Chain A
Amino acid sequence: MQFFGGSAAIGITPSPAAPPGTATSLSGNNANMLYIFNRNGVCLLYREWHRPLRTLDAQQDQKLMFGLLFSLRSFTAKMDPTSVDKGNLGVPLLPGQGCSYHSFQTNTYKLSFMESPSGIKLILVTHPKTGDLRDSLRYMYNLYVEYVVKNPIYVPGSAIKCELFNTNLDQYVKTLI
């Protein structure tokens, strides 16, 4: 009755991410969203291909994502059972130090993460059955270097507004399994 049909139900239960091969949006992309942050927390790029559920506005969404990455990073470093030298736990960690996580998975999506030595963080959200996406993230980082860093018009530290980069990125995402 009202429990199932009411409008209150919409927007709370997230719809499951589409399995590969089904044409969800116009282009049948296989990833949901991509975020790129630089080392100061500025969101350089946010691109979405398939996102039916949106809980926050864009600004808060990005701040929340960056905060999550930062906390996850120090959490994983502190919980590391193998490292003998704990070092200074209060000091912010450099990109290569400590142990670094690369993905977490829920029953509806998988979030993969990669951080470059220069502090550029790539976050890719896909459906849960994806394999290890570290190579794909590395390829996307190469695309960033080729089309954004080497573009004479781009100002480092600002949002990425590069036609070539967007086109190549969309093309690559279509080939992800």
Chain B
Amino acid sequence: MGREVAESCVDAVVIEMVSAFCHNFYSAEPELAARRIEAIGYQVGHQLVERYTMDCPRFTDHLEAIKFICKEFWSELFKKQIDNLKTNHRGTFVLQDNMFRWITRISPNPLQENTTESIATNDDNQTTQTTSMHLYFPCGIIRGALTSLGIPCVVSADISHRPACSFVVRIKA
């Protein structure tokens, strides 16, 4: 595959896309913005997985497909694999990435000595909001990839410990 793009360009495009949808297009309805971003991710994941599974044989079961996503797919996208995979063997998988590249740079304002409680929590809220907005796109990518492999599912993200984030995949039975 001949042509390459700098990683900074991709990072910048993702940041600008999230910012454009949140502030310009659907500034009054963050829910709609989130859904549009997830839909874009769905398309991207759908097409990417076609490209990356060109020479692979068909996957035998759900676990194999998820393992493919965790290893080869994630390495192609982010140059690292998923750090931790948990499952309850009943259709729910948790993919944990300890250093997810698109949210490592989100940094809160530093706490000053005379910050009041409300200002401090405001900053924290803003960080949490920005982080969750940025995670809709990768959720869409995972959903698009799995659907294209024949596994309809629902993906959500969990950001309790930054910069580690978990993607929860629930397969529709």
Closest Cβ of chain A to B28, distance in Å, is 20
From B12, B19, B107, B127, A165 is in contact (CB under 8 Å) with: B107
Q: Cα distance A162–B126 when bound, in Å?
A: 13
**Structural contact, B110 and A152, CB atoms closer than 8 A:** no
Specify the chain B residue showing the minimal Cβ separation from A166.
B110
* Contact A163/B110 with A147-B105, A152-B105 known, Cβ cut-off 8 Å: yes
**Structural contact, A151 and B105, CB atoms closer than 8 A:** yes
Does A164 sit at the interface, judged by CB under 8 A? yes
Does A48 sit at the interface, judged by CB under 8 A? no
B contact face: mostly helix, strand, loop, or mixed: helix
Residues of B within 8 A of A164 (CB): 105, 107
Residues of A within 8 A of B127 (CB): 153
Does A150 sit at the interface, judged by CB under 8 A? yes
Specify the chain A residue showing the minimal Cβ separation from B111.
A163
Specify the chain B residue showing the minimal Cβ separation from A152.
B15
**Structural contact, B108 and A163, CB atoms closer than 8 A:** yes
Q: Cα distance A148–B11 when bound, in Å?
A: 13
Residues of A within 8 A of B106 (CB): 151-153
6 more contacts with CB within 8 A, not counting A150-B8, A152-B19, A161-B110, are A147-B105, A150-B105, A151-B105, A151-B107, A162-B109, A163-B109
The chain B residues found within 8 Å of chain A, CB to CB, are 8, 11-12, 15, 18-19, 105-110, 126-127, 130, 134
Q: List 26 A-B contacts (CB under 8 A).
A: A146-B105, A147-B105, A147-B107, A150-B8, A150-B11, A150-B12, A150-B105, A151-B105, A151-B107, A152-B105, A153-B106, A153-B107, A153-B108, A153-B126, A161-B109, A161-B110, A162-B107, A162-B109, A162-B110, A163-B107, A163-B108, A163-B109, A164-B105, A164-B107, A165-B107, A166-B110
